[in-house]
Amino acid sequence: MEWAVNDLAERDLYKLLVNTVLPRPIALVTTVNAQGRANAAPFSFFNVFSHAPPLVVLGIEGRAGGEAVLKDTMRNIRATGSFVVNLVDRALVEAMQVCAIDFPGDVDEIAAAGLETAPSRQVIAPRLTQSPVQLECRETVSLSLGTRDRNLVVGEIQHLHIRDGIVDERLHVDIDKLDLVGRLHGADWYVTLRDRFQAPRQTLESWRARQAAASAKPEGETR
């Protein structure tokens, strides 16, 4: 099947994209508003974009329904120029989902989710102590794209926190101990890192050697 984007309703395009570009890492983003109040919300239109400079990107939509209004995360990034990406492990999934609830303004969603914050080293936004990886970021640029207050936020990582016991002295990361989750298809499916395989990257020489070995095999032999 194929579609020209212009022939798809917005909702259908969303469904096709979020159910095929999989899995997506999840950033539980913490920010603070101009009055100093902290906020946390999950975003899976998220990734690390480069290491030099160390950039992350977030895709933040406007609030659904009626007149477009910025989500608190976007409003706070505009107000303070900073945010923290807290990666989500299996133990944090339930709290992450509480942070996605559209609470009335007087509810402290970080407390409601049972999460604890600590001051960051280099940015005003706080970080979540229960997250295994916390990336303190300064907003580099935010692009308002399309309609309804969609924003692409680019942030530069200023400071990394990784829970003790996950990285050894040679900076090897134990990804079993990280136990991160990614967002999968549908509204509520997630994936862990437990099913994996190794596919060593090839050089031109090793690729040529494999080709030569394959063509030297007798007729009918497949492996």
156 binds ligand FMN (CB under 6 A): no
Supply the minimum distance, in Å, between the C-beta of residue 195 and ligand FMN. Answer: 20
Residues paired with 167 in a beta bridge? 173
Q: What is the 3-state secondary structure (H, E, C) of 156-206?
A: EEEEEEECCCCECCCCCECHHHHCECEECCCCCCEECCCCCCCCCCCCHHH
Indicate which single residue of 30, 32, 38, 43 sits in contact with ligand FMN (rule: CB under 6 A): 43
Measured from the CB atom, is 142 or 167 closer to ligand FMN? 142
42 binds ligand FMN (CB under 6 A): yes
| Interface with ligand FMN, residue 61, by CB under 6 A | yes
**Is residue 83 part of the contact set for ligand FMN (CB under 6 A)?**
no
The one-letter amino acid at 211:
Q
| 127 lines the binding site for ligand FMN (CB under 6 A) | no
Opening angle at CA 135, ends 194 and 47, nearest 5 = 60
Residue placing its CB nearer to ligand FMN in the complex, 25 or 167? 25
**Segments of the chain assigned E as strands:** 24-25, 27-32, 38-43, 46-51, 54-60, 82-87, 117-118, 127-128, 133-145, 150-162, 182-183, 190-191
Instruction: Give the nearest distance from C-beta 68 to ligand FMN in angstroms.
Output: 12
Query: Which H helix or E strand runs over 13?
Result: helix 10-18
If one asks whether residue 45 binds ligand FMN (CB under 6 A), the answer comes out as yes
Neighbours of 146 (CB within 10 A): 12
108: number of CA atoms within 13 Å, CB side?
10
Q: Does 100 bind ligand FMN (CB under 6 A)?
A: yes
**Choices 1-9, 39-47, 48-56, 136-144; region in contact with ligand FMN by CB under 6 A:** 39-47
Q: Which two tokens stand for residue 126?
A: 């706080």
* Stretch of 95-103, 131-139, 195-203, 213-221 lying at the interface with ligand FMN (CB under 6 A): 95-103
Of 125, 145, 158, the residue nearest 60 (C-alpha): 145
Q: What residues contact 46, with CB distance under 8 A and at least 6 apart?
A: 24, 25, 26, 27, 56, 57, 58, 59, 85
Work out whether 72 is an interface residue with ligand FMN (CB under 6 A): yes
Q: Contact region for ligand FMN (CB under 6 A) — 34-42, 130-138, 158-166, 204-212?
A: 34-42
Beta carbon nearer to ligand FMN, 73 or 130: 73
Task: Choose, by CB under 6 A, the member of 30, 57, 71, 113 that binds ligand FMN.
Answer: 71
**Contact residues for ligand FMN (CB under 6 A)?**
26, 39, 41-45, 59-61, 71-73, 97, 100, 102, 183
